[in-house]
Amino acid sequence: MQLTDKEFAWIVSYVHEKYGINLSQKRVLITGRLQNYLLRNGYQSYSEYFAKVERDPKGQEAINMINVLTTNHTYFMRESVHFDYMQKVALPWVKQYAASKKDVRVWSAAASTGEEPYAVAMLLKDYFGLDGSWNTQLLATDLSTRVLKHAMEGKYLLEQIMPLPDKWKKTYFQRISEEEYQVKDELRKQVVFRQFNLMDEIRFKGLFHIVFLRNVMIYFDDDTKIALLERIYDHMENGGYIFIGTTESIDKTATRFKYIQPSVYRKMK
Ligand SMILES: C[S@@+](CC[C@H](N)C(=O)[O-])C[C@H]1O[C@@H](n2cnc3c(N)ncnc32)[C@H](O)[C@@H]1O
């Protein structure tokens, strides 16, 4: 099945406009991921499929398309510098700042298959204690419903959970087969998973103390990145921290966030 120049131009512009993702250099990725899907599902051409997606942008085919096209690579304790920073700097600040409400508000904004938000949940439990005096529930969102389903199930292979401290593995995982471990209910309940497109208006209640926005802006162009950061800024507490991927950067002159150290920024009014 051939992806014509016109079809390629259509998908690049559609995905950019709706999801912010820049696929203009990703022709091989598009065909590599979509071709099999189209063949398996009886489509004769890309145009036939794209017409169906366009007719119903919230429909199942549009959802399937984004599930196939997003890149969801992640792992437990990725970029552990952020977890150290949380423990040493950001959480001590939250503990003081939110002392009266005892409600820490964290958002994992490109949560993928759950490794990031679950590791954060374990860290929050560690830091604020298991007695429940603090509300340590966090929000975890992603565009892809496929990865969110995986995340909600919380099933991982032993080799995937290896990077976690032994204490966390013992406390929060149960073995469910020879190879697989599952996040225990008590921890799964700590993470509220929701489908959310980062291009949309943020309507979550309350302001966040800490936002993880890691390894997702690499797919966005500069204007999209800046507009997103501005929206997030308005939904953060003053003093709140945002972590981005360690290979990513923010144009310091273009946003209101204050640079703290590579990949760590802060809202300081
Ligand atoms: C590479 S993963 C990053 C996972 C994790 N934050 C980490 O650093 O390991 C990028 C995730 O961003 C999600 N994503 C891409 N575009 C998005 C959008 N417009 N809104 C929400 N999530 C998006 C993808 O579905 C994917 O799961």
User: From the CB of 117, is ligand 1 less than 6 Å away?
Assistant: no
- Ligand 1 centroid–CA 200 distance in Å is 14
The per-residue b/e assignment along 125-162, b for 16 or more CB within 10 angstroms, e otherwise, is: bbbbeeeeebebebbbbbbbebbbebbeebbbeeebbe
Ligand 1 nearest atom to the CA of residue 113, by list position:
27
Q: Which atom number of ligand 1 is nearest to the Cα of residue 144?
A: 25
Q: For residue 197, which amino acid is it?
A: N
Residue with tokens 């929701």: 194
What pLDDT does residue 130 have?
Answer: 84
Tell me 55's DSSP state.
H
- Ligand 1 centroid from CA 198, angstroms: 9
Find, among 118, 19, 82, 123, the residue nearest to 248 by Cα. Answer: 82
For the chain, list the domains and their CATH numbers: 5-69 (1.10.155.10), 81-266 (3.40.50.150)
What number does the ligand 1 atom closest to the CA of 147 have?
27
How high is the pLDDT of residue 252?
A: 87
Judge if the beta carbon of residue 73 lies within 6 A of ligand 1.
yes
For ligand 1, pick from 14, 70, 193 the residue to mutate: most ligand atoms within 8 Å of CB: 70
Q: Which two tokens stand for residue 63?
A: 């959802």
Which has the closest alpha carbon to 114: 79, 142, 137, 85?
142
DSSP conformational letter for 102: -
- Angle at CA 130, nearest 5°, toward 127 and 134? 70
Counting atoms of ligand 1 from 1, which one is nearest the CA of 197?
A: 20
Residue 78: CB within 6 Å of ligand 1?
yes
CA 268 to chain centre: 24
List, edge to edge, every strand of the sheet that includes 138-142: 191-195, 138-142, 106-108, 208-213, 236-244, 264-266, 258-261
* Residue 266: per-residue pLDDT: 98
Tens place of pLDDT for every residue, the chain, 269 residues? Answer: 999 999 999 999 999 999 999 999 999 999 999 999 999 999 999 999 999 999 999 999 999 999 999 999 999 999 999 999 999 999 999 999 999 999 999 999 999 999 999 999 999 999 999 899 999 999 999 999 999 999 999 999 999 999 999 999 999 999 999 999 999 999 999 999 999 999 999 999 999 999 999 999 999 999 999 999 999 999 999 999 999 999 998 998 999 999 999 999 999 99
